[in-house]
Structure 1
Amino acid sequence: MLFIHTPKCGGSFINRAFGKRHKACPSMTWKEARGHKTFLEYREIFKGRGENIYDYVLFTVVRNPWDWHLSWYNYVSKDVGAKKSGMLIEHEQIKNLTFSEYLRWLDDPEVERSQDDYARKQVSDWIVDETGALVSRHILRQETLEGDLNDLSEEFGLAINVPSGQRINASSNDDDYRRVYSSEEVEIIASRHQRDIELFGYKFE
C-alpha cells in the first residue's frame, strides 16, 4: 500500500493506526519519497526505482477546504521557529495576521513562497493525475476518519489498531470553522477549491 499523505488531513492518526508498520510504506523507507509528495511526484519516484505505482493500493485522506485552511492558519502561524511545520517563510509572513488577512495573503503575488507552498494548493492536487482525475477510489475523509479507516482495514484485512475516540488533528480550532468566515471569505475558498468541492462534494455547512 502507499499512503499519500495530504498535509493537515489526519496523517498522524493514520500512522498511529498502523503503528510500526507505517514505516514500511515507500513514503517512509525511500529517502526521495518522504514528505507530502503528490501522486505525480510519486509516480516519477517509483519509475526511477523501476517500480509501477499502479501495482500498489493507493489511499489518502481529504478534508473540508474551509476547515483545512483554518487548520493551516492555526498550525503555521503558531509554530514558533517552524519547528514542527518546517515552513519558516510562511510562519514569518502570517504569524501576526488575522485569519481574514491570511485568506488574502494566499492570493498575494508579491510575497515570497516556499518551494512546497502547500497552503496554496487544493487538497485534490495530491491525488489526481495530469488530467485532473482521481487516481484512487480509497479516499478517506478527515470528518469520518475513524470509521473510514476501519472500513479500509476490513476490506484489505489489515493488521492495524484504529484509535477510538481520539482527536484527529491537534491543530484544529476547537470552534466551529464556520464561525470565523464572512460570506465573502466563504466564496474566496469556494473559488480556490472548485475541484475539491466538485470531486468530494464538500459544502460550507
Structure 2
Amino acid sequence: MELIQEHSDVSAYLAANEAVDHGHPLVQETAEALWATTGDAYSYAKVAFEFVRDTVPHSADSGDPRVSWRASDVLATRNGICYAKSHALAALLRAKGIPTALCYQRLAEDDGSGAVVHGLVAVLLPGEDRWARQDPRGNKPGVDARFALDREQLAFPVRPELGEIDYPELYAAPHPAVLKALRESADRPELWRNLPTGL
C-alpha cells in the first residue's frame, strides 16, 4: 500500500499539537531516558515503540475506564486506547526528531455488528525513503504487533472481504473525528459508543 502524506513538508510530522504534546516535561523526560539506552534513531524508535506497546496497557485489555488522549496524559496514567497510545508514541519519536504520522484503519467488529476506526503510526527514519507503519496497540492472545521496517507486523492486518480498509493518509495531527470522540467521552463505555466507524 502506498502511503499518502497529508503535508508535502516533512517538518509537519515533527510539530507539537494538542494531542502530540512532545514539549511536555514528562514526554521529554521519558524520551531522554529511553534515548540514553539506545543512542541512534533506529534503536530508539524500536525501544520507544516497545515501551508504549508494553508498558501502557490498552484500556480495553486492562478494564481502565479513564479516557486519556494527550501524549503526556497517556504516559502519566499508563492508560489509553489505540489512538491515545499512538499519540504517545508519536510524541516520543517527534521529541527526538523522528518524523511520525498518525494513520488509521477501518476494522470490522468481531461480532459482525459494524466497524470501528483503529489508530496507529508511521515513521520515517533517517536514511529511509519510505514511511513504515507501526502499531503500538499492545499485544494479547491473537495480536502480535512488532516494530519492523522491512515488512509490516501490525496488530490487525486488514481483511478486505469484510470491508476493512487501510486508510493511506498520513496525518500530522489526529483526525478530527478521533479527537472529538476522545475529548467528548467521560469514560471508556461512553468512548466505545462514540468511536468513529469510518473516516
Q: TM-score, normalised by structure 2?
A: 0.27
More strand by share: 2
| Structure in which a larger fraction of residues adopt helix | 1
TM-score of the pair, normalised by structure 1: 0.26
